[in-house]
């Protein structure tokens, strides 16, 4: 990323040091031009004089950002909401990976089929804040059993009647004979910074934060799209254009020495490609090329 703005201090971005969100975060940052060679076990890595990564636990990222040790952070939305700093932080961008949900789950064979039926029961969770808020909002008083991990075993050993835990596919819950009753929160990795009076403002760090947000956004927008190049008979141009909306409209280029053909270039949604390619073939299109896009700003 450009180091265009003068600054004495590097912009510090707190990122997960290990665990489920670490690889996705570093890959996204690399694509956005923030590649930091990291020494094993080191807490800090400088990308250049202007950008510094601070490697911490995903659940600690909100604390580092809220207290000002870091200028921004990447972590799970669940970590932000559970942290006790949610009101001091602003979610600037959803990053599309680390998707999961915080769910209420109960043993399959215990005949509990509603949240209401958990009144007065014990609920084990590593997310006491979100859990308490959820049951309060439902008007159902429960007894909290705070744990730090492996929550799903609690019902088996008689330590709880239900759990509130993160679920991605549901297979871990199933393995433990648990079924989901309700969703407390839908989560994914997010970019966060301070909100309110302590937000970065009108200084070069605020500009750098916007630079970061835009860079990440451009990578996310690009990864869902492909650049399509295709030759079509000129007589089929109108029909082909209708298939290819592009960001504004497709680019139409002449082919040297082939007045009866044109080349079309367009940005297309990746998920539409499989339908689009045979439709173009049916129009007699040739030489179809599909290329990845690194960044895209609409
Ligand atoms: P870690 O404990 O460091 O591996 O990171 C856990 C974070 O990864 C959670 O706070 C979620 O934001 C995210 N995550 C995504 N899928 C899952 C899942 N199936 N179980 C736990 N955490 C998940």
Q: pLDDT tens, 244-286?
A: 876 678 999 999 999 999 999 999 999 999 999 999 999 999 9
Residue 145 CA to residue 160 CA, distance in Å, equals: 7
- Of the pLDDT bands very low, low, confident and very high (cuts 50, 70, 90), residue 202 is low
Q: Could you count the other beta carbons within 10 Å of the beta carbon of residue 236? A: 17
Question: Cα of 145 to ligand 1 centre, how many Å?
Answer: 20
Give me ligand 1 centre to Cα 248, in Å: 38
Q: How many angstroms separate the alpha carbon of residue 153 from the centre of ligand 1?
A: 17
Share of the chain above pLDDT 90, in %: 86
How many angstroms separate the alpha carbon of residue 167 from the centre of ligand 1?
9
Q: Give mean pLDDT, residues 186-212.
A: 90
Mention every residue, 6+ apart, whose C-beta is less than 8 A from residue 132: 144
216 within 8 A of 32, measured Cβ to Cβ: yes
CA gap 45, 51 in Å, rounded: 9
Q: Which pLDDT does position 1 carry in this prediction?
A: 63
Range 182-204 average pLDDT: 90
Note the pLDDT tens digit of each residue in 80-117. 999 999 999 999 999 999 999 999 999 998 889 999 99
Q: 7: pLDDT confidence band, cut at 50, 70 and 90?
A: low
Over range 68-87, report the average pLDDT: 97
pLDDT value for 159: 95
Contact 16, 43 (CB under 8 A): no
CA 150–ligand 1 middle distance (angstroms): 12
* Best probe residue, ligand 1, of 76, 173, 191 (max atoms within 8 Å of C-beta): 76
Average pLDDT over the chain reads 93
What does the H/E/C string look like for the chain? CCCCCCCCCCEEEEEECCCCCHHHHHHHHHHCCCCCCCCCCCCEEEEECCEEEEEECHHHHHHHHHCCCCCEEEEEHHHHHHCCCHHHEEEEEECCCCCEEEEEEEEHHHCCCCCHHHCCCEEEECCHHHHHHHHHHHCCCCEEEECCCCHHHCCCCCCCCEEEEEECCCHHHHHCCEEEEEEEEEECEEEEEECHHHCCCCCHHHHHHHHHHHHHHHHHHHHCEEEEEEEEEHHHHHHHHHHCCCCCCCEEEECCCCCCEEEEEEEEEHHHHHHHHHHHHHCCCEEEEEEECCCCCC
For ligand 1, the distance from its centroid to the CA atom of residue 27, given in whole angstroms, is: 17
Give the C-alpha distances (Å, rounded to integers) separating 279 from 241, 282, 285.
Answer: 12, 5, 9
Task: Output the residue whose Cα is nearest ligand 1's atom 11.
Answer: 76
Strand duo 11-16 + 72-76: pairing: parallel
Taking CA atoms only, the protein residue closest to ligand 1 atom 14 is 98
Q: Which residues line ligand 1 (CB under 6 A)?
A: 16, 19-21, 58, 76, 78-79, 98, 100, 166, 168, 187
| Centre of ligand 1 from the C-alpha of residue 254, in Å | 51
Rounded distance, CA 171 to CA 183, Å?
Answer: 16
Nearest residue (CA) to ligand 1, atom 4: 19
Q: Take residue 207 and report the two structure tokens written for it.
A: 């500009």
Nearest CA to ligand 1 atom 6: 20
Q: Which atom of ligand 1 is nearest to the CA of 167?
A: 19
Residue 198's pLDDT band, with cuts at 50, 70 and 90, is confident
Residue 86 Cα to ligand 1 middle (Å) = 18
**Residue ID of nearest Cα to ligand 1 atom 13:** 98
What number is the average pLDDT over the span 218-223? 96
Mean pLDDT is highest, among 35-39, 168-172, 189-193, 238-242, for 189-193
Distance separating alpha carbons of residues 103 and 193, to the nearest angstrom: 26
Whether the model clears a pTM of 0.85, i.e. scores above it, the answer is yes
């Amino acid at each position: 990323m450009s180091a265009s703005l003068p600054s004495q201090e590097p912009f510090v971005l707190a990122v997960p040091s290990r665990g489920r969100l670490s690889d996705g975060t570093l890959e996204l940052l690399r694509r956005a031009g923030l590649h930091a060679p990291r020494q094993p076990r080191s807490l800090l890595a400088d990308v250049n004089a202007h950008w510094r990564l601070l490697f911490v636990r995903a659940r600690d990222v909100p604390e580092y950002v809220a207290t000002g040790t870091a200028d921004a952070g990447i972590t799970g939305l669940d970590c932000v909401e559970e942290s006790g700093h949610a009101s001091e932080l602003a979610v600037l961008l959803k990053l599309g990976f680390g998707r999961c949900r915080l769910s209420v789950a109960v043993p399959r064979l215990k005949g509990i089929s509603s949240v209401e039926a958990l009144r007065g029961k014990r609920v084990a969770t590593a997310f006491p804040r979100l859990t308490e808020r959820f049951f309060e909002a439902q008007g159902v008083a429960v007894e909290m059993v705070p744990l730090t991990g492996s929550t799903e075993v609690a019902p088996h050993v008689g330590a709880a009647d239900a759990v509130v835990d993160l679920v991605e596919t549901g297979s871990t819950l199933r393995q433990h004979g648990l079924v989901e009753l309700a969703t407390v929160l839908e989560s994914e990795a997010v970019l966060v910074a301070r909100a309110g009076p302590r937000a970065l403002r009108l200084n070069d760090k605020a500009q750098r934060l916007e630079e970061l947000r835009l860079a990440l956004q451009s990578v996310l927008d690009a990864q869902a799209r492909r650049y399509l190049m295709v030759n079509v008979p000129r007589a089929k141009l109108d029909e082909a254009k209708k298939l290819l909306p592009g960001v504004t409209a497709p680019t139409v280029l002449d082919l040297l020495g082939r007045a009866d053909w044109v080349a079309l270039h367009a940005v297309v949604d990746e998920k539409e490609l499989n339908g689009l390619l045979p439709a173009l073939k049916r129009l007699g299109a040739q030489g179809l090329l599909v290329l990845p896009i690194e960044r895209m700003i609409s």
